[in-house]
């Protein structure tokens, strides 16, 4: 049998693509190396404890948004909750609860001594309108990018909305802050550095303004905690795909991709399949390995991903009687606001809910992560890398101890992970995660139009447009699936 499409990897890029193609009646095979889906956004069990592997807080769940639409259409058994606050940002001198309402944030920032309230209101009004223009694109995969006549006409009708973004292309988020006379207002700088680091993967001083403005809405657009862990959503999406007739193969890693007359031969751990088209949910370095040649067309993308990040992780099991808020909650901890928000100085920390039974006797778990600069890590010898990662994990523990002593005191079980763990676990060479940072420059816009790497071979995932996050990768997967289906119907 020749499949219409083989999907390599069931991360959220592959899951979004698989479900969309299966909905359209395509003959799909999903090949996932692990025995469960989700990749960097999965939930794993070790020694009786259940942890989020990487991602912990997810957008796209408000009515009409992508995940909400899938949950509704396929009656997925997924329960979500809007944490209140969504995140608590803790620094040495203050704590800022960030709720799902932009007005609350503006009001809180306005309470800082000497806060320039009018300028803050103007800045967020502008951010909101510019972000709104971009999100109208992101929310509708059919419009992104405008390949068909209908989409093109819709874009032309909408173009006045995008025009205000034009002056900010090739400028940074910090430039926009300065244009509003807010560059001396330290609480805003810290807030923006924190949110930029976890979304566009760089500081406000370096972030390409339009991308950063759009992702600043992260907390305000359907952001939720998934009860039981994000693995619940990943598994539900995969089951929905299977129920629509897709062939789903777990523990089936793909070893090689070879072009053949009628498509691609996909060699796997246990055999091979043939498909007219392939969607690879892997980073460019891994795709090169599967193609078995130099794949020079992936040079630029590879360099951008290598200029990004790895992750150092702490997974904590808490005592059953830990005295914490009962709901799942999220903390963003900054040890020294004057230093870069990486390498344990900045830790994103997510605590499961008391009703989720993640550990022995119903105990709770914590997933904590920090950014590790890939270029710095790769320049080291393997021994030096080991020492460096251990130092980063100690810095994480120190930040946790200072900013979240309640977690430190309740910890009874501890696991660590490094870029090396991610390389082994999700097949990302060197452990590069988070895609390409959206740093200032028009390079950011390269690859905005998904197109095949080679005839019939497509990429999805966080190294390609629209980039990092479960929502972005799922959206990109859905978009690419639409293009694949269109090509299949032309070829049929």
Ligand X SMILES: Cc1cc2nc3c(=O)[nH]c(=O)nc-3n(C[C@H](O)[C@H](O)[C@H](O)COP(=O)(O)OP(=O)(O)OC[C@H]3O[C@@H](n4cnc5c(N)ncnc54)[C@H](O)[C@@H]3O)c2cc1C
Q: Which residues bind ligand X (CB under 6 A)?
A: 8-14, 31-34, 39-41, 54-58, 253-254, 281-282, 286, 311, 369, 426-428, 433-434, 461-462, 468-471, 473
Residue number, nearest CB to ligand X = 11
Provide the minimum distance between the beta carbon of 330 and ligand X in the complex, in angstroms, as a whole number. Answer: 8
Q: Could you give the CA distance from residue 106 to residue 128 in angstroms, rounded to a whole number?
A: 12
Cβ nearer to ligand X, comparing 10 with 278: 10
Cβ nearer to ligand X, comparing 34 with 400: 34
Q: Could you give the CA distance from residue 210 to residue 131 in angstroms, rounded to a whole number?
A: 8
Show the tokens assigned to 475. Answer: 């959206």
Cβ nearer to ligand X, comparing 180 with 358: 358
Cβ nearer to ligand X, comparing 11 with 482: 11
Provide the minimum distance between the beta carbon of 112 and ligand X in the complex, in angstroms, as a whole number. Answer: 26
Cβ nearer to ligand X, comparing 82 with 169: 82
Counting beta carbons within 10 angstroms of the beta carbon of residue 39, is it exposed (0 to 12), middle (13 to 18) or buried (19 or more)?
A: buried
Cβ nearer to ligand X, comparing 271 with 338: 271
Provide the minimum distance between the beta carbon of 478 and ligand X in the complex, in angstroms, as a whole number. Answer: 12
User: 262: Cβ–Cβ under 8 A, 6 or more apart, which residues?
Assistant: 2, 274, 276
Cβ nearer to ligand X, comparing 174 with 328: 328
Provide the minimum distance between the beta carbon of 181 and ligand X in the complex, in angstroms, as a whole number. Answer: 32
Provide the minimum distance between the beta carbon of 285 and ligand X in the complex, in angstroms, as a whole number. Answer: 11
CA 243 to each of CA 9, 19, 101, 136: distance values in angstroms, whole numbers, following the listed order:
18, 10, 37, 31
Q: How many CA atoms lie within 13 A of 178 on its CB side?
A: 9
Q: Could you give the CA distance from residue 403 to residue 96 in angstroms, rounded to a whole number?
A: 13
What does the buried/exposed string (b/e) look like for 464-478 if buried means 16 or more CB atoms within 10 Å of the residue's CB? bbbbbbbbbbbbbbb
Provide the minimum distance between the beta carbon of 420 and ligand X in the complex, in angstroms, as a whole number. Answer: 13
Q: Could you give the CA distance from residue 318 to residue 366 in angstroms, rounded to a whole number?
A: 8
What does the buried/exposed string (b/e) look like for 371-384 if buried means 16 or more CB atoms within 10 Å of the residue's CB? bbbbeebeeeeeee
Cβ nearer to ligand X, comparing 117 with 451: 451
Beta strands 80-81 and 49-52: pairing type? unpaired
Angle between helix 66-74 and 230-243 (nearest 10): 50
Provide the minimum distance between the beta carbon of 270 and ligand X in the complex, in angstroms, as a whole number. Answer: 12
Provide the minimum distance between the beta carbon of 4 and ligand X in the complex, in angstroms, as a whole number. Answer: 18
Provide the minimum distance between the beta carbon of 297 and ligand X in the complex, in angstroms, as a whole number. Answer: 19
**Element spanning 260, H or E:** strand 254-260
Angle between helix 117-138 and 149-162 (nearest 10): 170
Cβ nearer to ligand X, comparing 55 with 291: 55
Do the Cβ atoms of 36 and 488 come closer than 8 Å? no
Provide the minimum distance between the beta carbon of 115 and ligand X in the complex, in angstroms, as a whole number. Answer: 28
What is the secondary structure of 323-356 as a DSSP string? ---SS-EEEEEES-TTS-S-TTSEEEEEE--TTS
Cβ nearer to ligand X, comparing 337 with 429: 429
């Amino acid at each position: 049998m020749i499949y219409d499409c083989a999907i390599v990897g069931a991360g959220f890029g592959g899951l979004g693509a698989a479900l969309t193609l299966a909905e359209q009646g395509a003959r799909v095979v999903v090949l996932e190396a692990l025995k469960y889906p989700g990749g960097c956004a999965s939930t794993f069990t070790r020694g009786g404890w259940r942890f989020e592997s990487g991602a912990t807080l997810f957008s796209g769940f408000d009515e009409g948004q992508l995940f909400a639409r899938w949950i509704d259409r396929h009656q997925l058994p997924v329960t979500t909750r809007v944490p209140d606050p969504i995140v608590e940002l803790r620094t040495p001198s203050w704590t800022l609860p960030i709720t799902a309402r932009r007005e609350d944030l503006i009001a809180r920032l306005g309470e800082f001594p000497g806060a320039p309230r009018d300028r803050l209101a103007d800045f967020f009004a502008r951010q909101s309108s510019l972000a709104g223009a971009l999100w109208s694109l992101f929310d509708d995969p059919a419009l992104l990018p405008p390949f068909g006549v209908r989409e093109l006409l819709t874009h032309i009708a909408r173009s006045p909305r995008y025009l205000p973004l034009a002056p900010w292309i090739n400028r940074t988020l910090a430039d926009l802050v300065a244009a509003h006379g807010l560059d001396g207002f330290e609480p805003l700088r810290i807030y923006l550095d924190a949110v930029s680091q976890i979304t566009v993967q760089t500081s406000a001083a370096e972030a390409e303004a339009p991308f950063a403005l759009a992702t600043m809405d992260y907390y305000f657009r359907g952001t939720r905690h998934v009860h039981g862990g994000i693995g619940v959503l990943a598994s539900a999406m995969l089951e929905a795909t299977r129920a629509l007739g897709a062939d789903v193969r777990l523990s089936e890693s793909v070893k090689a991709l070879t072009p053949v007359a009628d498509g691609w031969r996909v060699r796997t751990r246990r055999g091979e399949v043939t498909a007219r088209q392939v969607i690879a949910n892997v980073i460019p370095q891994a795709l090169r390995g599967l193609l078995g040649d130099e794949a020079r067309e992936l040079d630029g993308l590879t360099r951008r991903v290598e200029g990004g990040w790895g992750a150092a992780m702490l997974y904590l099991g808490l005592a059953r009687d830990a005295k914490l808020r009962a709901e799942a909650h999220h903390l963003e901890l900054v040890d020294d606001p004057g230093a870069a928000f990486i390498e344990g100085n900045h830790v994103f920390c997510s605590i499961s809910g008391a009703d989720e039974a993640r550990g022995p006797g119903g105990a709770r778990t914590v997933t904590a992560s920090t950014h590790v600069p890939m270029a710095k890590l790769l320049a080291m010898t393997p021994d030096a890398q080991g020492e460096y990662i251990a130092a980063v994990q100690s810095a994480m523990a120190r930040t946790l101890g200072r900013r979240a002593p309640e977690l430190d005191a309740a910890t009874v079980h501890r696991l660590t992970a490094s870029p090396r763990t991610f390389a082994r676990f999700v097949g990302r060479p060197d452990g590069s995660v988070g895609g390409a940072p959206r740093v200032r420059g028009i390079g950011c816009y390269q690859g905005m139009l998904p197109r095949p790497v080679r005839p019939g071979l497509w990429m999805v995932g966080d190294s390609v447009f629209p980039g990092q996050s479960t929502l972005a990768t799922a959206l990109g997967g859905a978009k690419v699936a639409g293009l694949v289906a269109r090509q299949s119907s032309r070829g049929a």
